[in-house]
Chain A
Amino acid sequence: MSSLSKTRLSHLKQLEAESIHIMREVVAEFNNPVMLYSIGKDSSVMLHLAKKAFFPAPPPFKLLHVDTTWKFKDMIKFREKAVAQSGMELITHINPDGVAMNISPFTHGSKVHTDIMKTQGLKQALDHHGFDAAFGGARRDEEGSRAKERIFSFRSKKHRWDPKNQRPELWNLFNTRINKGESIRVFPISNWTELDIWQYIHMEKIDIVPLYFAAKRPVVRRDGIDIMVDDERMPIAANETVEQKTVRFRTLGCYPLTGAIESTANTLPEIIQEMLLAKSSERQGRLIDADQAGSMELKKAEGYF
């Protein structure tokens, strides 16, 4: 426990309390909430907070992972372990249309892949299970369009987000009223920054996917970014070579779309040290944001998390 003094809370403890408050509010006010679980560090923190919010009971909702089939193998392994430890039920959804069309980021590009496997897949899963509230691990410091996102973000029946017509959010009084078929996306860690997340993982000793730590991994350099060869589906061109490099990942997603960084940081303090001294922002390793100007904003309007 790290409080500032006997009756003052440190910033991390204040953020923790705020997130717990949000989660309890959702469980108390919605019929069928779910937690989007993406296996990354933010999801790990969100799951940890959920366990705290409902202790000694397990969190009273299910986890949902929208699997694109292109996640790192280590992520899936970690997912199974984390779910087993949580005592919660996991729903894994893979867009069957995408599978039928054989969607691949290598052949269809990141834009089509993300739209079909993530955005459409997510909508299918939410519709199928009739979830009226979905927790997501997005943070406002991640990207421009997120800075104005609400904590309780209203979505139409078609899952659309309208940045010009958001409900004002005052104090910690959240408007949870929706009509049938509409839903709310809830971001309990909105006010956390990347640094907060890492410090909290350190402080609370939260388990994270080993890919965040440096290790020798096979990578191919493409468009100035190191892409890890995680399985045999990755086509290697004649002029490309697979190199063994000591790398790690700052963010995790689909392996063909996630750039590795050369690093030897293999402890949490070293990772945090490296992040603090880094010269580029977290999402730079993510290829999906760079598609077009304001691209995250467009994706969100279409229903992406």
Chain B
Amino acid sequence: MSHQSQLIEQDIHRYLDQHEHKSLLRLLTCGSVDDGKSTLIGRLLHDSKLVYEDQLAAVKKASVAGQGNQDSGELDLALLVDGLQAEREQGITIDVAYRYFSTNKRKFIIADTPGHEQYTRNMATGASNCDLAVILVDARKGLLTQTRRHSFIVSLLGIKHVVVAVNKMDLMDYDQNVFEQIQQDYRDFSKKLDIPNIHFIPVSALAGDNVVDKGTKMPWYQGQSLLHLLEDIDTQTDLSKGDWQLPVQYVNRSNSDFRGYCGTITAGSIKPGDDIRVLPSGHTSTIKSIVTADGDLHQAFAPMAITVTLTQEIDISRGDTLVHASNAAQTTSASQFKAHLVWMDQQTLSLSRDYELKLGSRRINARIKHIDHIINVNTLEKGFSETLTLNEIGLVEVHLDAPIPAAQFNHSKGLGSFILIDKISNATAAAGMIEDLNTASFAAANDHLAALNLPQANQQLASKSAQEVVEWAMGLRGKTIVTTNFGPQEAVLLHMVSQVAADTKVLWIDSGYNMPQTYAFAEKVVKQLKLNLVAYTPTVSAARQDAVLGGIPTIDDPAHAEFTEQFKLEPFKRAMAEIAPDVWLSALRREQSPLRQQMETVAHGPNETIKVSPLLDWSLEDMQAYLTRHGLPDETRYFDPTKAQAGRECGLHELKN
């Protein structure tokens, strides 16, 4: 074996030094058996002297036995790249196979995929990790349907460099006109696609012309041989220049003092001292250090797998994405988007089922709401369909249970690509590329939560502890709020919620008529539990009401209802409309009032929320015991002047959709 034998023999140390600095090119080869694709790859391996004698002997033996596609006797290089036994018997390749070779300039990973119509899925799979595609065209046949199909998929998967290898030139007498006609045809056709860099090479894989060496048969071709082109081409889209993004994959807490956020940088670069923002929470912090086993780094860039620590501790978990505070424009949080799907499962797409969507490090429930159109991969024509079947491609509208960090695929492969998983069979059902994050036109809907079976949920939760109910509610992965009036024992639920997710929005409808001790208590609880408090107040101030409108009307005054509306219900409705929560956690307890007596742990709330009351069955003693156990503050001197009587309902908990 081996290229560069001389250097290896004479100066292995220099060779090693050179090779530690090689670059990597991942490329895709598209074409069918008939195009001579396996022969081409075999030729690359053979002529760059990467084939061991025992492998060659096996190929010679198989060639003689007539296992190859060639006539018996001649060395069939296709057998070098042959795969599984079952496929060998059928004489075809049926999946993505990965091949490796290297020269003194580069290491190459070839994703070898078949060209058959039914294998769009395999091509998309192979293409997903490649920077370049070699598309084989048979010189005798010119552009075929499959050439168009391959090119479209390559373009769809975001490959920006294509080499069109016009093969079997030996069978066309190495005719320049044949090559140029194919080149022209391809240029015309590819105008419809997004492939900025296209190269053309006339080759004979069988005879070896222009594969590794240029050969003598086509002096009219001035360009490089295929291998030399692959060695020199610069496909690095310069990931390090984009907006920095780090999907958090894992939180490393090696001890109580260390909290490192681990992930693979999908774009951009970062240094200690840079300000960052967390998606979707929006919290900000600053990079303290970039920790690696080889020492802290001064800078890290895509596609490094790193661990960062932050100067201020904020709540970050797997599935969040860290972005630069300054340039987060193209990476945002979205719960709806349009995407191209390549359907990969025998089971067809269902618009009435949830799929699990995996994007970056986030897994979330997703539903396909609408198929805008499907695309015929052979003609690129758009059509309408109720579903997607195996190997079909469509533009669809995706709705998620909650917003997740995302980007358009053409801005970021890392945060613009996703897979869909069938939740019953666990099969990978589709690959997706986000086309459009602009969701302004999408109707807001959250079918997953709307479809929640409440009696069943209540039954399941009957035996659970309050903490477990809180965890369940927050595990619904909708937008969650918890409400409080900072009355007695209110710290109980706030504490439980903050234990699960410290950044949960805490909604307080402050009528402006609270007692001084209530305001003081609110301050204390918010500080101790580091709550993300959102206070909503009436549009009329208490001072104005008192001075001009006669203060708080008595309960028997007909004006009381309007007062309640203005000071309690309107701010609450406004908050619900603006925050638009999916899940509402409340500290209601049955023993508090006859109305509450009849409530269920999980119920429908206003604004299509799911209202969850984990403490429904707790007694006052339970509450006090919890406060003591967790060292939480309390304030029992509570009075709500707007309600006038303890135990009287203002109506906030009776609001319906």
Contact = CB atoms under 8 A, between A and B. Distances in A.
Interface of A: 1-2, 4, 6-18, 20-21, 24-25, 27-28, 51-57, 140-141, 144-145, 147-148, 163-164, 166-173, 175, 177-179, 190-191, 193, 195-196, 199, 202-203, 269-270, 272-273, 276-281, 284, 293-294, 297
B84 interface: yes
Contacts of A272: 12, 16
Contacts of B417: 170-171, 173
A55 B85 contact: no
B173 to A, nearest CB: 36
A28 B428 contact: no
Nearest to A267: B12
Contacts of A57: 252-255, 258
A6 B129 CA distance: 23
A177 B305 contact: no
A55 B426 contact: no
A67 B509 CA distance: 66
Contacts of A273: 8-9, 12, 15
A9 to B, nearest CB: 7
Contact of A11 (B8, B23, B54, B344): B23
A168 B109 contact: no
Contacts of A13: 304
Interface in B297-337: 299, 301, 303-305, 307, 318
A177 B426 contact: yes
A1 B304 CA distance: 12
A272 B118 CA distance: 43
Contact of B431 (A170, A277, A280): A170
B95 interface: yes
Interface string B63-102: 0000000000000000000111110100000111111101
Which of A1, A20, A164 neighbours the largest number of chain B CB atoms within 10 Å of its CB? A20
Interface in B128-179: 128-129
24 contacts: A11-B22, A11-B102, A14-B303, A24-B305, A25-B361, A53-B262, A55-B307, A56-B252, A148-B83, A148-B95, A163-B95, A168-B344, A168-B431, A170-B417, A172-B129, A172-B264, A177-B356, A191-B98, A193-B100, A199-B20, A269-B16, A273-B12, A277-B5, A297-B84
Contact of A297 (B85, B293, B307): B85
Nearest to A290: B54
Contacts of A168: 121-122, 124-125, 344, 428, 431
B141 to A, nearest CB: 28
A297 B255 CA distance: 44
A147 B293 contact: no
Contacts of A17: 264, 303-305
B573 interface: no
Contact of B97 (A148, A276, A280): A148
Q: Which 4 A-B pairs have the closest CB atoms?
A: A57-B254, A294-B85, A11-B24, A7-B240
Given A9-B304, A17-B304, 9 more contacts: A55-B292, A144-B84, A148-B96, A148-B97, A169-B125, A175-B421, A195-B19, A276-B1, A281-B54
A146 to B, nearest CB: 9
Given A11-B22, A167-B428, A277-B8, A175 B419 contact: yes
A53 B263 CA distance: 10
Contacts of B52: 278-281, 284
Contacts, number: 204
A171 B13 contact: no
Nearest to B109: A191
B367 interface: no
B20 to A, nearest CB: 5
Contacts of B95: 148, 163, 166
Interface residues of B, number: 84
Contacts of B655: none
B413 interface: yes
Interface of B: 1-2, 5, 8-9, 12-13, 15-16, 19-24, 52-55, 82-86, 88, 94-100, 102, 106-107, 109, 121-122, 124-125, 128-129, 236, 238, 240, 249-250, 252-255, 258, 260, 262-264, 269, 291-294, 299, 301, 303-305, 307, 318, 344, 356, 358-359, 361, 413-414, 417-419, 421, 423, 426-428, 431
Contacts of A196: 107
Contacts of B82: 144
B124 A1 contact: no
A288 to B, nearest CB: 15
Q: Mostly helix, strand, loop or mixed at chain B's interface?
A: mixed
Contacts of B250: 24, 27-28
Nearest to A3: B21
Contact of A191 (B16, B100, B128, B344): B100
B293 A52 contact: yes
A173 B129 CA distance: 11
A11 B264 CA distance: 16
B1 A279 contact: yes
Contacts of B53: 279-280
B54 A28 contact: no
A140 B125 contact: no
Contacts of B121: 168
A35 B511 CA distance: 59
A280 B58 CA distance: 11
A238 B642 CA distance: 106
A141 B100 contact: yes
Contact of A195 (B94, B102, B106, B421): B102
A163 B85 CA distance: 10
B128 A10 contact: no
A169 B98 CA distance: 12
Nearest to B128: A170
* Most-contacted residue by chain A among B5, B95, B255, B413 (CB, 10 A): B95
A230 to B, nearest CB: 25
Given A177-B421, A297-B85, A202 B16 contact: yes
Nearest to B95: A148
A2 B23 CA distance: 11
Contacts of B19: 195, 199
A172 B305 CA distance: 12
B358 A173 contact: yes
Contacts of A175: 358, 419, 421, 426-428
Given A2-B20, A168-B431, A173 B98 contact: no
A56 B423 CA distance: 36
Contacts of A167: 427-428
Contacts of B83: 144-145, 147-148
Nearest to A6: B299
Nearest to A200: B20
A269 B15 CA distance: 9
A193 B102 contact: yes
A297 to B, nearest CB: 5
Contacts of B106: 11
